[in-house]
Amino acid sequence: MNYYIKADQFMLEDRMLEAGYLAITDGRFGEWSSSLPEEAEVVDWSGYTIAPGLFDTHIHGINGYDVMDGTKEAVHHISKALLSLGVTRFLPTTLTSSTDALEQAISATVEATNEGLLGALSEGIYLEGPFFTERYKGAQNPKYFRDPDIDLFQQWQQLANYTIVKIALAPERKAAIDFIKELSDCNILVSIGHSDASYDCSKRAIQAGARNFVHLFNGMSGLHHRNPGVAGTALMTNDTFAELICDSHHVHPDVANFAWQVKGEKIVLITDCMRAGLMPDGHYYLGEFPVVMQDGTARTETGSLAGSTLKLIDGVKHLQSWSHRPLHEVWHLASLSPAKSLGRGHELGSIHPGKYADYVVVDNELMIHATAVNGEVKFQRKATE
């Protein structure tokens, strides 16, 4: 399907482009033009802005479903629910559980993906655990924690048809450094998280190939002037990415803004959303843990934050409000930076000729009116909504 989008503004990587026409050719972005070629088909979004689709690289579930349900239906429902939120790509994310439960979740995700997701598209599986340590366990179940095991991982990777693209671990665990090197050599994004690692240990992990930090400041040893810890390592390494949950609960707004000032485009906005996202306050489960959501915040019975119920578009709104920086700079932390963290920045994450035509239509309040994946509009808000 080839057509041109007419709109008041187009959000490019380095600026906002004014009214004109953007070509969509065979599911990819083409060139922008100030005038319309003769006999071209036009989709008219006058009065709106066209922005790149959002990419959530850390999401467990939403709208009552979770990847750890271990059913293909759950993955399909998550995919569809994300469209109305402007998310066009995501990584179905597991959490620490039994081997059987993890393998069921992997198999179900592969099955759903092979059937064809009708909403946001999966760019691969993210294993958050089980190679963590207990001090910063968060809502991960410590009874399943274990040391990294390359044979076990290869078993899971085969089950996943080699679609596991990201894994989180604690580098202080036995054999972790060799594990990191082997996976990094296979172009898997190794993330440091739920970890009490020292600065020196964290640096060794980076030297071995780790390139990402799980939800910065949460589930990790903090920054201290005599022991920089995991958080300090994240802030002081230029070639690593750091996930950030901008819901004002996980990280103070001023600290989130500070992290962005330090890390720049290496900040990756995520949600870490669990099944209670888009749902009313009440009782839910995150894995095997009962969770209570009150006023939109999910916590375990002991009071620990249990993922989030954040919408990625709201993370963008929050950080833009906190930082007063241009919208296109903040937006790309939730689209292009995630793609770059996975080595997909050449194909995804921004409006640029040749990239996949994932885009959203937003108004001045950043309400999402339409979402397109590969140039096909898959969600359009009804006029009465």
The answer to whether the beta carbons of residues 349 and 341 sit under 8 Å apart is no
Cα 303 to Cα 359: distance, rounded to the nearest angstrom = 38
Residue 302, C-beta contacts closer than 8 angstroms, at least 6 positions apart: none
Instruction: Look up 178 and say whether it is catalytic.
Output: no
The answer to whether the beta carbons of residues 205 and 192 sit under 8 Å apart is yes
Q: Compute the chain's Rg from CA coordinates.
A: 20
Kindly compute the dihedral angle of the four CA atoms of residues 385, 324, 344, 212, in this order, to the nearest 10 degrees.
-120
Helix axes 253-263, 312-323, angle to 10 degrees: 90
The answer to whether the beta carbons of residues 217 and 255 sit under 8 Å apart is yes
Catalytic residue among 69, 247, 272, 358: 272
Cα 162 to Cα 160: distance, rounded to the nearest angstrom = 5
Q: Could you give the residue numbers annotated as active site?
A: 272
